[in-house]
Amino acid sequence: MKVFIAGIDGYLGWALAQSLLQRGHEVAGADNMARRSWVEEVGSWSAVPIAPIQERIRMAGKIYGHEPLFSSIDLCDFLELRKVLHFFKPDAVVHLGQCPSAPYSMIDQSHAVFVQNSNLVSTLNLIYAIREACPEAHFVKLGTMGEYGTPGIDIPEGEFEITFRGRSAVLPFPRQANSWYHLSKVHDSHNLAFAARIWGLAITDLMQGVVYGASVRGLELTGPQLATRLDFDSVFGTVVHRFCAQAVIGKPLSIYGTGGQRRGFIALTDSVRCMTLSLENPPQPGEYRVFNQISQVCSILDIAKTVREQAIKKGIEVNFDTIKNPRTEAEEHYYQPDAHKLRALGFIPLVHLCQEVDCLLDVMAASSDRIRCKQSVLAPKIPWK
């Protein structure tokens, strides 16, 4: 299968590219290196050094026997994007090339506009480019569980059955996003469902939970050329990464509010496996399907306790610091999402939180000097209000 990855230089994109190459797929990708510049803008960097993209591409070719075709284009440049897809003629397109940070979108007016414009235009350009250059290609779009918010009832996979005034229908589940970033993903979902309906595109929308980890089972993600990036700051780093970074430099784990916020989580290994399952089991033309891509549900306090438990085993003392929540969100709530469809395709989670936290602490400890010299980025500085 020929797979085009938009955002191939990113955290998920680089890991997925290597996994697909190892499985014998032909891979091409595009990236404008924006993730690197965004992280630099907020004063941080990857906990593990990463090489320039051309070095990464050359090493991937050496290791896996096939060098990915790479284009340094901006997805907002429709003509160049269409040209690349027309040349490569992919069987599937994976869209990972968006700004993935809720805090970044909440900095100010200009960042809110940038995130919504960039994310929405990139998706619209991709579906138009697919329609014109490779209309039979399967489009896999990375959404987010954050689209649903915390509604207080079970969360289905995209749609639910409702009865109102004596009549029943299957409708999209209401989205209650909690940042300009998450709202951009909500708009994406509506646009994708529309594109499948009017053009007959085959589309998978992955509502992914919080991803964490520095490794993918079966891959050697070591050294600057092969390692995927590992962000730990409060803007682009996930809470698991941030807590592990704080632990290894002797800082208390900063828990927002009560820590009762519950979310779906998934290790990088399992995220890559889910995306691969989606690619290798495409929907029918005209089908828009939604998968909730999570492996377990935890509270923020659960994460903190797990990090402390694993750190203590390594002789690292860990304390907690409860701070005022910079976000506007429910801190105690019901949260029960469905996640059946990927399991029906054969997905069984391989990695539990405590296992990957154990590995992350080792990786972060080896990079403690890099973390320590950027430790100011661990503290949240972007209020929602």
Q: Which residues contact 235 (CB under 8 A, 6 or more apart)?
A: 39, 42, 44, 101, 103, 104, 377, 382
Q: Find the helix packing angle between 11-22 and 268-280, rounded to 10°.
A: 60
Closest CA to 356 of 210, 209, 212: 212
CB 231, CB 44: distance < 8 Å: yes
For the question of residue 185 being annotated catalytic, the response is yes
For the question of residue 144 being annotated catalytic, the response is yes
CB 111, CB 105: distance < 8 Å: yes
Q: Find the helix packing angle between 353-366 and 239-248, rounded to 10°.
A: 50
User: Which of the following is catalytic: 123, 144, 150, 238?
Assistant: 144
> Exposed, middle or buried by CB within 10 Å (0-12, 13-18, 19+), for 310?
buried
For the question of residue 306 being annotated catalytic, the response is no
User: Which of the following is catalytic: 181, 256, 288, 335?
Assistant: 181
Q: What is the C-alpha to C-alpha distance for residues 289 and 136, in angstroms, rounded to an integer?
A: 16
Find residue 264's DSSP bridge partners: 297
Query: Annotated active-site positions, please?
Result: 144, 181, 185
